[in-house]
Amino acid sequence: MPSFEYKALDMGGKKHQGFIDADSERQARQLLRDKNLLPNQINSVRQQKSGKQWFQPKVSVQHLALFTQQLAVLIQSGIAIEDALQATTEQSDSKPLRTALQGVKGKVREGQSIAEGMAEFPGVFPPVYQALVGAGEKSGDLGRVLLQLADYTERNQQLRNTVLQAAIYPIVLTLVATVIIAVLMAYVVPKVVEQFDHVGQQLPLLTRIMISISDFVVNSGSLLLAAIAAVIIIFQYCYRRPAFKLSIHTKLLRLPVLAKLLINLETARMLNTLNIMLNSGAPLLDALKISEQTAGNTYFKGLLSEIAEKVREGGSLNKAMEKLRLFPPITVFMVANGEITGELALSLKKSAEQQENQLNNIIAITTRLVEPILIVVFGLIVLAIVLAILLPIMQLNDLTQI
């Protein structure tokens, strides 16, 4: 039975909104009237999903993980799936998630599986999420798989937060320092240096350089900002093209420090996905296919496709990874050991933990190095500005003593 989202007024003029199940929009309006509600807006959940929205609200990882945990507990308690979905819908604080869950519940009432219902809302439930729910339904142990999925979702979010936190600090520091230096060059330096125009002596070289830079900032600063904005817009436009995006992602994996960090991040994400997929009973080929969709780097995604093709041809996972010469040797060794012992999922889990620890160590070391380097660089720039102001003063004092 389809679900409809409504907004209505009661007899006292108070606003109400929520969801109602009905065979048609006409029946939904009649059901609302039976409750003494005057509907003024009714939208099918499916219509909301299928319509193209440029600013479609997103579901946070925290909301998705919490819903997954709640649904797992309810299902393991023996509650019917439809009732469990209804309970989690009412419990959720995320409107996009509630809307999607109403649609999933409608699909379940029509006799479809939860995974099939979630497939109708790819913006809310990622491909790996749909695949794991489907694998859990097939294995008959959906509750256990959902608990693993909640943990998987949180771990991926922690990996992402670790990288973002490491990148945010130097970016913010650079922006703040740049703004301060720009203000000094545009307002402070000209005001101070113009006091020495009547001296008639040639200003020191450093001061003349700072004056030239200051004049450029004042006279051409707006043009520079416009040029930077234009470059960003052009880059974003080109980045949408697959060939350009692949080229950028390939070059990123060749940079000295960043390449190691990205490889560790993508490897940890791949190993986590393979681990939970295999634990839920999914075949290795299906797990590799899903792991392709979770990769953030386009070039790395292509490598996963090559690995899947090698495995499909009868090769082992570790040999396919070894031939690419990109994955860390310890990861290849642990995968090989897991294939030999028949405990591939366990080996993948341990290898993923090892990669996450190494990633955290790299980020910690890099952050500790970048911070003092930025402080020294911007400190030297400020020192140069101060010297550019002080040198004419010292020169003037020498002239007055003579």
Q: What is the pLDDT at residue 54?
A: 39
In whole angstroms, give the CA distance from residue 186 to residue 213: 9
- Of 295, 272, 275, 290, whose CA–CA distance to 128 is shortest? 290
Is residue 389 over pLDDT 70? yes
Contact in structure between 268 and 319 (CB atoms under 8 Å):
no
Choose between 213 and 398: higher pLDDT. 213
CB atoms within 10 A of CB 200: 7
In whole angstroms, give the CA distance from residue 321 to residue 335: 9
In whole angstroms, give the CA distance from residue 191 to residue 301: 55
Per CATH, the number for 141-402 is 1.20.81.30
Is residue 79 over pLDDT 80? yes
In whole angstroms, give the CA distance from residue 232 to residue 195: 39
* 159-173: average pLDDT: 79
Task: Give the tens place of pLDDT for each residue, 330-384.
Answer: 889 999 998 898 888 889 889 888 888 888 888 888 778 888 888 888 888 888 8
Q: What one-character-per-residue DSSP string does 218-281 give?
A: HHHHHHHHHHHHHHHHHHHHHHTSHHHHHHHHHHHTTSHHHHHHHHHHHHHHHHHHHHHHHHTT
Say which range, 11-15, 45-49, 363-367, has the weakest mean pLDDT.
45-49
CB atoms within 10 A of CB 15: 9
10 Å CB burial of residue 281 (0-12, 13-18, 19+) is middle
Q: What angle do CA 69, 71, 75 make, to 5 degrees?
A: 120
Using a cut of 0.85, tell me whether the model's pTM lies above it: no
In whole angstroms, give the CA distance from residue 267 to residue 331: 9
CB atoms within 10 A of CB 276: 27
Say which range, 47-51, 82-86, 173-177, 377-381, has the weakest mean pLDDT.
47-51
CATH 1.20.81.30 fits 61-125, yes or no: yes
10 Å CB burial of residue 138 (0-12, 13-18, 19+) is middle
Q: What angle do CA 258, 260, 262 make, to 5 degrees?
A: 65
Contact in structure between 258 and 249 (CB atoms under 8 Å):
no
**230 band by pLDDT with thresholds 50, 70 and 90:** very high
Alpha helices in 283-343 (DSSP H): 284-294, 298-312, 317-324, 329-341
Share of the chain above pLDDT 70, in %: 87
Q: What is the pLDDT at residue 95?
A: 82
* 73-93: average pLDDT: 85
Say which range, 20-29, 49-58, 212-221, has the weakest mean pLDDT.
49-58
**1 band by pLDDT with thresholds 50, 70 and 90:** low
